[in-house]
Structure 1
Amino acid sequence: MPAAGHPDGGGSGSGWGERPLATIVIVNWNGAHLLPPCLDAVAKQVTGFGFQTWVVDNASSDHSRAMLAERYPWVRVIESSRNLGFAGGNNLALRQVSTTYAVLLNNDAIPEPDWLANLLAPFDQPGGDKLGAVTGKVVFLPRFLRLRLETPTFSPGPHDSRSLGARISSVTVNGRDVLRDVLWEKLTFGAEGPPTAPFFWTRGNGEMLVPVPESGTVTLGLTWAAEAAKTVMLSWDGHSGPADGGPGWAAADGGAARFAALPVTGTEPNAVSVTIDDTAPRVDVINNVGGIVLRDGYGADRGYQEVDTGQFSNPEEVFTACGNGMAMRAELGHDLGWFDDDFFLYYEDTDLSWRIRSRGYSIRYVPGAVLRHVHSASSVEWSPLFVFHTDRNRLLMLTKDATLPLAAAAVARYPLTTASIAIRTLRQGWRARSRPAVRPTLLRLKVIASYLRLFPSMVGRRREIGRTASERRRALQDWLVSR
């Protein structure tokens, strides 16, 4: 077994007896299929120091624990009798850490061999004594084909101001369903419909990023519909040689782009297929290069769904660190109490980063610490679980960390928006003579109830943050950015 992952320290280029410098903490819940690539990559880390690896098992019902015992005896497993979420699961280990640094890693992330060494390096560089945390570059695990779509739009009605193009209900690559893995941020309005059969309305033009094999010809299949028959133009980069995809194909005259004119036959879904040759470039896509908070209080991943062209190749200070792949001074973490257990999932890293900064420490992004990440492998984006925790925890975070005007505005706006959504839903149901879709409203009411239950605790923690802070809240909000 490589020394790099040994729980007694070890590390490439260091002896077994050396006291480890860092502890890698990985939270796992039913991730037996995710852990081997992650831990195999951890074992291959090339460092000049020792480190140890701990896995917190959040009451998994799969064979995670047995697999860890059999295949990874060098990993310390910390067992929880119940699912404590990302925040509580990490805290179960972090509160036991005695190394200089604590490093967080998702079970669905695969680090490059020099990830850990590059992640910890800034602490020993000039100004490192003022660093509270370091965050690296997280890119999506697969590589992607960059496709541009353009089609005529229509307005669905007086109560929906969107300009809609085509409604996509299926995407396949070489016959394999990839609908949930496509990155739609620059093309669609987000997932709609039931979780078992989602669909996506496109805008009139935009970009979609489709995960594809590393090489070879790709057969792309699409199933879509629209308000009427129309043509969709699909284009991509590549050579300008002869097209071979059948009727409706054309090659860009003298240029690098290739495109296909594809039919949408009307309101009933129809399937089309496009063959894209292996000259179309594969690209890496950014998941996170540090975090930002918008002026209205929403957190966001910096660089999210941008094609990686080297635009984030320089180290720089950022407002927040990503919970997947961040390193932190353990002494500071113990002093701050690590994550807020009540957050369970989402915004816990943004809240912790805000508190790190309140103590006068900075957070640095380093591009050389690279992780490849399976996005939303443990929780489905825009699922009720996702929406509940992101909505509630944003309000909890602002109540704790933001200035009073920002926190009060965000908290007051949420029930008003909930009431507006409920009224609009009832009106739409009345006009359509159908049962209104009340689940989104009920979910928001659940958010409000949970927030109110936790409000007294958050006020107490706000006072504690203010009492120990060396940076004023208003000064920290200078980091917030406009949409």
Structure 2
Amino acid sequence: MKSIAVAILNWNGRPLLERFLPSVLQHSDQGDVIVIDNGSTDDSIEWLKSHHPDVRIIALESNSGYAGGYNEGMKQIEHEYVVLLNSDVEVTKNWLQPILDRFASDEQIGAIQPKILSLNEPSKFEYAGAAGGFIDQLGYPFCRGRIFYFTEEDKGQYNDAMPVFWSTGACLAVRAEAYHKAGELDPQFFAHMEEIDLCWRMQRNGYSCWVEPASEVYHLGGGTLSSQSTQKTYLNFRNNLILLTKNLPQRKILSVILARLILDGVAGIQFALKGQIPHTLAIVKAHFHFYGRYGKIVKRRSGEFPWPLTGVYRQSIVRQVFLGGMKSFDKLTKSAFTFPKASRNS
């Protein structure tokens, strides 16, 4: 058995498997390729058995989302490292080796992502992860190469490997030991931001999360929920509130949630002014769901809550972008980021 596995979660995604699995098989000699089927009702499994009989299939009985599907699959994977790979990702030659080398460089690295570029616009970073994830003081996630919906062109400006706050779930390589110690992915997220929650908990446990741009992949994006989906809006706003309540120090929760209530209200008004009322209602629904479960979320808090952690931007990214016009990562104030000493190891 090889030390690393590439685990692809599939749910009724035969067209994506047909399109993207060949590149994974072609360029993943260093790893074992596994498909975790999340209770598909199409002919995905039959197609895999017919066209790729050597690919290991872990068949789950029902669809339990990104988090639940990978958690169940990880129970049956015994590799030291596992790449949780979206089914709509095209990998490139030798993409696994830099990830393996980075893991080998430090036993405290818990997660790594490659550089994520857009399959539809290959010269640009892709929304989901770009060149590494960060978070601001109010819990807004963003990336090197992508802030909110503003994606940058890749000119090699972010080719240095470095620790980040979170590594993207589109292509998330984890040290299995760190994954399980952190408590795995949280199923209550179902989809969106569960990898940020996992990386946050890894950092709280003393592990670091990295981006390794020497590894490069191309992400189609929108394979599960499109950017126009009200369900995606609902999940993003709800899950962000859950994320903050689970992981922030107690002294910060109330002030941050109150600030988010105001800013999320502004976002809802903007949707309404654009005639996108269903998205406004999705934000309202997200907040009501969160407040209804707040007590249960708080009761599940455990462990230490150090703050700030690596990759925190101690300013408001909303203010910087929408009032200051800073729509690219390299324009942000570098001294406002929290990094350990000698963090940029290439």
Pick closer, same or farther for the CA change 1:418–1:295 going to 2, 3 Å: closer
1:377 aligns with 2:219: no
The farther-off stretch of 438-447 and 89-98 is 438-447
Distance 2:45 2:269 in 1: 48
1:444 is matched with 283
1:54 is matched with 34
Provide the secondary structure at the position in 1 that maps to 2:27.
coil
Among candidates 120, 129, 133, match of residue 107 of structure 2 = 129
Residue 177 of structure 2 aligns with an amino acid whose one-letter code is: E
Pick closer, same or farther for the CA change 1:32–1:461 going to 2, 3 Å: same
Matched ranges for 1:61-80 at <5 A: 61-80=41-60
Among candidates 11, 14, 27, match of residue 45 of structure 1 = 27
**CA deviations over 1:407-465 (Å, ceiling 9, x no partner):** 32332345556777889999x8xxxxxxx975344323321232134323322332x23
Among candidates 291, 300, 316, match of residue 133 of structure 2 = 291
Provide the secondary structure at the position in 1 that maps to 2:308.
helix
1:333 aligns with 2:333: no
User: By percentage of residues, which structure has more helix?
Assistant: 2
TM-score normalized by the length of structure 2: 0.81
Matched ranges for 1:20-169 at <5 A: 20-45=2-27, 47=29, 49=30, 51-125=31-105, 128-143=106-121
Distance 1:85 1:35 in 2: 18
Residue 131 of structure 2 aligns with an amino acid whose one-letter code is: V
Residue 326 of structure 1 aligns with an amino acid whose one-letter code is: L
Matched ranges for 1:200-279 at <5 A: none
Pick closer, same or farther for the CA change 1:135–1:418 going to 2, 3 Å: closer
The answer to whether the 8 A contact 2:84-2:173 is kept is yes
Provide the secondary structure at the position in 1 that maps to 2:173.
strand
Among candidates 318, 326, 329, match of residue 164 of structure 2 = 318
The answer to whether the 8 A contact 1:22-1:102 is kept is yes
Residue 139 of structure 2 aligns with an amino acid whose one-letter code is: G
Residue 290 of structure 2 aligns with an amino acid whose one-letter code is: Y
1:465 aligns with 2:303: yes
Pick closer, same or farther for the CA change 1:32–1:52 going to 2, 3 Å: same
Distance 1:476 1:425 in 2: 33
Shift of 1:367: 0.9
1:300 is matched with 142
Pick closer, same or farther for the CA change 1:453–1:98 going to 2, 3 Å: farther
Pick closer, same or farther for the CA change 1:123–1:424 going to 2, 3 Å: closer
The answer to whether the 8 A contact 1:109-1:372 is kept is yes
Provide the secondary structure at the position in 2 that maps to 1:103.
strand
Provide the secondary structure at the position in 1 that maps to 2:100.
helix
The answer to whether the 8 A contact 1:292-1:320 is kept is yes
**Structure 1 stretches lacking a partner, 5+ long:** 1-18, 145-282, 429-435, 467-471
The answer to whether the 8 A contact 1:54-1:93 is kept is no
Shift of 1:329: 1.1
Provide the secondary structure at the position in 1 that maps to 2:197.
helix
TM-score normalized by the length of structure 1: 0.59
Distance 1:372 1:477 in 2: 26
1:456 is matched with 295
2:209 is matched with 363
The answer to whether the 8 A contact 1:94-1:338 is kept is no
Among candidates 373, 377, 386, match of residue 232 of structure 2 = 386
Pick closer, same or farther for the CA change 1:398–1:308 going to 2, 3 Å: same
2:338 is matched with none
The farther-off stretch of 344-353 and 298-307 is 298-307
The answer to whether the 8 A contact 1:26-1:105 is kept is yes
Provide the secondary structure at the position in 1 that maps to 2:221.
coil
Shift of 1:78: 2.4
The answer to whether the 8 A contact 2:36-2:73 is kept is yes
Shift of 1:36: 2.4
Residue 93 of structure 1 aligns with an amino acid whose one-letter code is: G
Among candidates 400, 422, 435, match of residue 246 of structure 2 = 400
Distance 1:442 1:94 in 2: 36
Identity %: 28
Provide the secondary structure at the position in 1 that maps to 2:113.
strand
Residue 86 of structure 1 aligns with an amino acid whose one-letter code is: Y
Provide the secondary structure at the position in 1 that maps to 2:12.
coil
Distance 2:118 2:233 in 1: 22
Provide the secondary structure at the position in 1 that maps to 2:159.
coil
Pick closer, same or farther for the CA change 1:124–1:91 going to 2, 3 Å: same
The answer to whether the 8 A contact 2:192-2:235 is kept is yes
The answer to whether the 8 A contact 1:99-1:330 is kept is yes
Pick closer, same or farther for the CA change 1:421–1:74 going to 2, 3 Å: closer
**Structure 2 stretches lacking a partner, 5+ long:** 318-346
1:184 is matched with none
Among candidates 291, 299, 307, match of residue 474 of structure 1 = 307
Distance 1:478 1:390 in 2: 20
Shift of 1:315: 1.3
Distance 1:370 1:422 in 2: 36
Distance 2:256 2:240 in 1: 9
Moved runs in structure 1, 4+ residues, more than 6 A? 418-426
Distance 1:393 1:455 in 2: 12
Distance 2:11 2:28 in 1: 27
Between Structure 1 and Structure 2, whose CA radius of gyration is higher? 1
User: By percentage of residues, which structure has more strand?
Assistant: 1
Residue 455 of structure 1 aligns with an amino acid whose one-letter code is: Y
